[in-house]
Every structure is written in structure tokens, then in C-alpha cells.
Copies of this chain bind each other. A is one copy, B any other.
Amino acid sequence: MRETLEVKSKVWLEVDGEAVLGLGRKMLLEAIHRHGSISRAAREVGISFRKAWGYIHSMEEFLNTKLVETRVGGKGGGGASLTAEARDLLAHYDKLLKGVNEAIDERFHEIFG
């Protein structure tokens, strides 16, 4: 009956019905933290700068919190870094994810074989 039946899951945070943190945004923020640049982070996670920028501003708008500190111009063109609030939010989200996917997978294999 089935070819490659598999379970998929998503866990994300919302404010006023708008997504403010999911797997994609998490990857983006972590990449920004590593590279100190939105554009380089976007390239790494495979999205356009435009989209990354949209993500960030949407998150900041609905969380009503500054997450990414940016510098424009200057040596290297500028750059970006995470605020303490962003790092804190990421840590909490990581905790939330920890074990959830494993629990789902476990249940899936237990039921569907």
C-alpha cells in the first residue's frame, strides 16, 4: 500500500497568529550569529537576503523586540549580530524542540512499523 510513508512535524511559536520562530528562522538567526552578516547567513541557509530581511522584521514587529543589531556601510559594508533577547529566545526554543521530534518518531514507528 505504501511506498515511503513518513511522518513530518513542525513546532513553532506565534504571536497574534503570526509565526515568530520556527526551524527556518532559527537556522537563519544562528547563521547570523556565526557570520555576523545577514547576507552571508541568508546565502548559507539558501534563501535570498530579501526574504531573510522580511523574516527578521516580521519577527521583531510581532515580538516587539529587537533581535538583530545591524551596522550599515563601513569596512566590509556593514554587518549584523544577535541581541541578548534573540539568543535567549533561541535557547528556549531549542529546549522546546529537544525530545519532541524524538517522541514523535518513536510513536510513529511504534504505530506504523
Contacts and interface: CB of A to CB of B under 8 A. Distances in A.
A8 interface: yes
Interface residues of A, number: 34
A112 B99 CA distance: 16
A80 interface: no
A99 to B, nearest CB: 7
26 contacts: A1-B63, A1-B64, A1-B65, A1-B85, A5-B15, A6-B13, A7-B11, A7-B14, A7-B96, A8-B11, A8-B12, A8-B13, A8-B19, A9-B10, A9-B11, A9-B12, A9-B100, A10-B10, A92-B112, A96-B104, A96-B107, A96-B112, A99-B107, A100-B103, A100-B104, A100-B107
